Copies of this chain bind each other. A is one copy, B any other.
């Protein structure tokens, strides 16, 4: 389920809107949630697999203010040879607008820190994460 966050004073900066760095915390929240919901995360990490974010490309499209309710939608994007993308949207449910959309590129490494090829069982597990569906379309 998409996590929901009510915007409080500490999320905002002097402009009164959510600060750009905070959105990355919202995105992290969303990523853990979608991973938890779709795969056996505990087992996965217990086997020494680690997620490392290597790139975030985030567009700030509209603003979120105190008392707004936002939700974070996350889903699988493109899967490459050694990296994959989780696409994410922060939706402002109060205004009906998308606040931010982001492509988060990550690698999966073994406990030694080496990025692994996304093939075989690893690829299968990753494909359990549902594809990203655009929130703007259906609402």
Instruction: State in angstroms the CA–CA spacing of A50 and B10 once bound together.
Output: 15
Residue of B9, B29, B57 near A14 (CB, 8 A) is: B9
Identify the closest chain B residue to A103 (Cβ).
B57
In the complex, which residues of chain B have a beta carbon less than 8 angstroms from the beta carbon of A53? 20, 60
Query: Which applies to chain A's interface (DSSP): helix, strand, loop or mixed?
Result: mixed
Copies of this subunit:
4
In chain A between 40 and 84, which residues have their CB closer than 8 angstroms to a CB of chain B?
42, 50, 52-60, 66-67
In the complex, which residues of chain B have a beta carbon less than 8 angstroms from the beta carbon of A10? 13, 19, 21, 25, 28-29
Residue of B6, B9, B13, B42 near A9 (CB, 8 A) is: B13
Q: Interface on A for B, CB 8 Å cutoff?
A: 6, 8-10, 12-16, 19-22, 24-25, 28-29, 32, 42, 50, 52-60, 66-67
CB pairs A–B below 8 angstroms (21 shown): A6-B32, A8-B28, A8-B32, A9-B13, A9-B15, A9-B28, A9-B32, A10-B19, A10-B21, A12-B14, A13-B13, A14-B66, A20-B24, A21-B24, A21-B25, A21-B28, A55-B57, A55-B58, A56-B57, A56-B58, A57-B57
